[in-house]
């Protein structure tokens, strides 16, 4: 389990990156400006990897990379940016960044690049973490299984068979209980690719999950927030 700092002023991007890396078992700290990131970097917390945008309010991404390297820290830095010119990439790598991923990027690719940097720097990669529990559910990210405990009112338990996407959707929701995820966010986190604009795709998968959970009486845990998305009840 690694300590990851995500520096991105776009709240939606910051949230989906944080959720994706958290799903891999990392402990993620969010910063929404360069100034906030500088305070975190100069504070007592030690980070195993930094994911950093370039165009940030307060302090730029280039300045943050220079700050980290100027202090002699070998913390791996993965830059994410809409600036795709070769000169930008070369300049950042020379300044001290370890990797450069242009926007828009694939979340699974970003997660893989983070794991590569952790391995190169001797930090144990995340394995998915321990079992996740929510009310009567227990999800095992390594075995990719869901077990529903019997209810106190006599409701039956079970272990419904979930597809890869269905498990990813439930895992995303359980890792951030109470948070409303838009259909676009759930799509990007569950499929690991940019949202294509088809809301029905996510809705159909949520409906399938509910159908599989109905026998256990826990299908109502999945709540639709009209006009926004889905959350756990």
190 alpha-carbon distance from chain centroid: 10
What pLDDT digit, counting tens, does each position of 116-156 carry? 888 777 665 554 456 788 899 999 887 888 999 988 888 88
* 99 shares a domain with 18: yes
pTM of the model: 0.60
Residue 125 lies in a domain: no
Read off the pLDDT of residues 206-223 as tens digits, 9 standing for 90 and up: 999 999 999 999 999 999
62 and 89 inside one domain:
yes
Q: Same domain for 9 and 82? A: yes
Same structural domain for residues 143 and 206? yes
Q: What is the rounded CA–CA span in Å between residue 142 and residue 158?
A: 19
Q: Which domain holds residue 140?
A: 132-232
Query: Encoding tokens for residue 67?
Result: 């700050």
Query: Which residue in 26, 41, 32, 35 sits closest to 12, CA to CA?
Result: 32
* Pair 154, 193 in one domain: yes
- If one counts every other C-beta atom within 10 angstroms of the C-beta of residue 177, the result is 13
Low-confidence ranges of the chain (pLDDT < 50): 127-128
In a domain, 126, yes or no: no
Number of domains the chain is built from = 2
The residue among 64, 120, 130, 116 whose CA lies nearest residue 92 is 64
Last residue of a domain, one of 87, 120, 153: 120
Does residue 111 sit in the same domain as residue 60? yes
**∠93-95-99 over CA atoms, to 5°?**
30
- The CATH number assigned to the domain holding 165 equals 1.10.10.10
In a domain, 73, yes or no: yes
| pLDDT for the residue numbered 146 | 92
Q: Are residues 140 and 112 in the same domain?
A: no
Q: Residue 122: its pLDDT value, please?
A: 66
Tokens 């991105």 appear where? 8
Q: Please give the order of strands across the beta sheet that includes 222-225.
A: 181-182, 229-232, 222-225
């Amino acid at each position: 389990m690694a300590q990851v700092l995500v520096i991105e002023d776009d709240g939606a991007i910051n949230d989906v990156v944080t959720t994706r890396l958290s799903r891999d078992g990392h402990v993620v700290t969010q910063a929404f400006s360069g100034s906030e990131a500088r305070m975190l970097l100069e504070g007592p917390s030690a980070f195993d990897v930094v994911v950093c945008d370039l165009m940030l309010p307060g302090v730029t991404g280039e300045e943050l990379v220079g700050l980290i390297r100027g202090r002699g820290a070998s913390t791996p830095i993965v830059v994410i940016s809409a600036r795709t010119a070769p000169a930008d990439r070369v300049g950042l790598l020379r300044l001290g960044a370890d990797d450069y991923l242009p926007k828009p990027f694939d979340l699974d690719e970003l997660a893989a690049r983070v794991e590569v940097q952790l391995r190169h720097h001797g930090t144990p990669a995340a394995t998915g973490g321990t079992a996740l529990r929510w009310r009567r559910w227990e999800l095992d990210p390594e075995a990719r299984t869901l077990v529903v405990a019997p209810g106190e009112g006599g409701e039956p338990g079970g272990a419904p068979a979930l597809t890869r996407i269905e498990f990813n959707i439930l895992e995303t929701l359980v890792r951030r209980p109470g948070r409303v995820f838009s259909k676009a966010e759930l799509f990007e986190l569950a499929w690991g690719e940019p949202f294509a604009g088809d809301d029905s795709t996510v809705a159909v998968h949520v409906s399938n999950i509910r159908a599989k959970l109905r026998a256990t009486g826990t299908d109502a845990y999945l709540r639709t927030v009209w006009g926004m998305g889905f959350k756990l009840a």
